[in-house]
Each structure stands twice: as C-alpha cells, then as structure tokens.
Structure 1
C-alpha cells in the first residue's frame, strides 16, 4: 500500500489543481479514440533589473517574483549584500521589475536575450564560474537513509508532473524533510525560484540538500554552489563538467537515484551509508502519472 506523504513538512508545495498552470486538450490516442489530457501552460516572463530589460524566460507562471530574484542572484547580477528595494510583478504585462537601492554594473553591459524552456537553456550572462572562485562549501554529512526518505516523499507528493508531465521539479530539503518544492518547464527556472525564496526568507543553504529531477549539469552544480547548498541529488545522470565543478567546490553530488540505487561521484567522504539498500523497496516505473514525460 502506498501512503500519502506528510504535507506538513512543506513550506511550499506544488499546486497541481491550479487552473492557471494546466489546460485540458482533446486529442486522439493510438486507436483513434478521442482522449483528453492535461498539458502544462507556458508563458513568457520578462525580467527587468531596475530600468534594464534582462531576459525573457518561458515559465509556467507561478512565483514570478521568486523566479526573477533567483535568476538575477544565480547569474551574479545581484548579490545577497544588495539592498533590494522592491520586486514588482505586472500580471497583465507579464513583467517583473527588481529594484535595487544602487544601480548595479550589469545593466549597461547586457543585451536582451530570450531564455527558452528547453533543457539546453543556453543563456548564461557573463562567466558564472567567476562567482565560484574561492568557494568551498561546508562539509555537511548526508545519510543514505535521508536520501531514500526524501526520494520516497517527493516522488509521491501531488505535483504537476504527476498531473500533466512535461515538467521539472526541484526541492530544497533539510535532512529527511522536503521544504520548498518548485516546478517549471525548465529545471533552471525551478532552481531559481528556490534561490529567490531563500533570498527573501534569509535562509542559509549550509545545512540543506537540493533534490532535482533534472540532469546534473555544470550550470545546475554552479547554481547550487552559488546558493551555498553542499549536497545536490537527482533522479537523473551527470555531465563530466558538472562532476568536475562539484569536486572543485566540495559539493556532494549524487545521481541516478531510483529505488535502492544511486551513484555518488563527488563528496563520497561525506556520505554516511546508514541503511541496507536491500531494505529499500524498488521504485515503480510510474507514481500515478497521467500525462506526458518530463521536459
């Protein structure tokens, strides 16, 4: 019997029933029969830093203020030390304006770019690696029992993925508790929303774990390190550069987490194997997913 997760752990959880995030579309199946499925909405969101237009991101449209703040933070355009005077969202214009007390040095040297919803985002402002110089993350120990518990809870949490598919999820966790669960058509958007929440909540990443459904690429590792989070785990696999950067900054990197199995390619010395994998049930191929696969 599958038990529902304890939703009390979550500060923010997905809202798969929100009518703004999906729509019903009628098509035909392999037999030619009419069928109706939920598909994820995709909207442009233009982010301004003070008076300068920075980027247009394709997003599902929830938590636009967190997305804007997190994107600017993770690209190094603003820092935790900056005095953010306001974050203003205009739903009709689909625009977020982030205002700082002192104009940063990024506005004039950036040109407008469009960030697509695909997995290969391709839009990176400046050299993100510059922000990692001298970074060494805290040596947080992570227990395998916590990883298994997180995967079990997160994979059974009601979500847009289970409702409609074509979506990525990223979850900020502490020990075995999932705290902030964000979804979006691009995995980087989901990470940026968490970064924005952490900035506004003044939440430290020192004792946190980031769990994501997406691949462990260089940009995912860089963003996690920039957020001060020492552990990054995923259902998916790795890229070589992502692994190299994780080793460089001391980030514990764990991928291919499915059922009893996972692989650790960085930070093995901080992984405490405190449970017999044979005691963990194998994961079913689906957890009630109704729609298409992940994007």
Structure 2
C-alpha cells in the first residue's frame, strides 16, 4: 500500500465515525460562547467604563486591539479539540484492536504513522477553519453591536486567521505524536485535558515571574501556538510570559513537538507486537 492510499484510509477511519463531528459541534459551541460572550462583555466595558470600574473590572490597556483578541479564541481555547482527535486517531486503533488488519494491509508501520500524521494535519486545519469562522462571526457581531471596529477589512486580521488555521493543523499532528507515545486511550485523554486546561496555564503564569523562566516558557506548546497566531486571550488575562517567539518560530516549535513525539512513539510503542 502506498503512502497516499494509507492516507486515504486514515481519512476514512476519521470520517466514518461520529467522533469528528461531535468534537466539531462542541468546538463551535465552546468558541461561540467564549468569543461572543467575551466580546459582548468587552464591548460593554468599553462603552461603560465607569460602570465597569464600579463592578471591579480593571480598565483595558489603552489601544488594545479587541478584534484579534476575540478571533484568536478559536485557537487559544479550541486547540484542545484537534489534539484530542489526533490522539484518538492513534489510541483508538489500540483500544479497538484494529491495528492488526491495518498492519496486515500496510506492513510498513512508519507509513501508517506518517499517514496519520499527515491526515490529522489536514483534519486539524479543517477544524481550525470551522473554529475561526465561528470566532470571527460571533466576535465581530459582538463588536459591531457596540459600535466597535471589527477590523475585518485589515489584511493583518486575515493573516492572523490564516496562521490560526495553521496552528490548529499543527495541534492535530501533536495529538498524533501524543497518541503514539501514550497508546492507552484513557491516559491520553487525561493528559490532554490536564495539560491544556491546568498544567500549562499554571506553568505559563509561573514562567512570567522572571526573565530567565520567561525565556523558557515561550517554548511551551501553548505559548508557541499563541506566538504563531499572533494574539491570545492570555494577554488580557495577564497569564503567560510577555516574551514571545516570532510567528514562524512558534510554528516551527509546535511542528517540532509533534514530529519529535511521533518519532519517539514510532521507535518505541509503535514497534511493539500487536495482540
């Protein structure tokens, strides 16, 4: 079986199950709630600074671009979904014992893992397009409702969206690398949720406390993703390091994390006998 046929088989495995569209629905709902809700809150805070101050809301930094902040919710909170789908694409094979027929059809295991890596890049980009369509629609609607600039006429905004879709694609590949390293499905899901929702936010906050750790913290996967996109709600939440990689450096770091994890997994768990 050629690499292209193996890749086509991986797409079939994804789209003939319910998992992809269930995750897509959750992604849309989550991003719409956060981008639209936070956009409405920011619009109200900008239009009513005295009331916002009376409610204990700290004033927004002068000149902070609100539109990129809202649109980037698609990647800064939505990245967990392509990671999960990428990890499930690998761990599901172990859980449901489908690796045996897979390896019988394609004995070159590296081809199978490479096909998963490549296919999840594309699936992740698809989820990214859906996520950014949602964040732009809800975020721009909230801004427009309060008479604020949506910045949809700016080329910088569309460049941010394009980089965000790329970031989501790379997160899908990171998920494949994680699944190859940790073939137990439950363990992989727990790691994804625990790291993305708790561990890394804490690490990013701690890293921002001094210059030495700040330089290290910018290489965390979430920080690299935010650098690639160019905006993140972590900015206004005062979480994470003020230090940031260039967008292309962030992309390379994120790709390297996925590739290295997949290579290590391919050299270890992926080579074991399948029962």
Q: TM-score range by the shorter chain?
A: under 0.3
TM-score by length of 2: 0.26
| Structure having the larger proportion of residues in helix | 2
| Structure having the larger proportion of residues in strand | 1
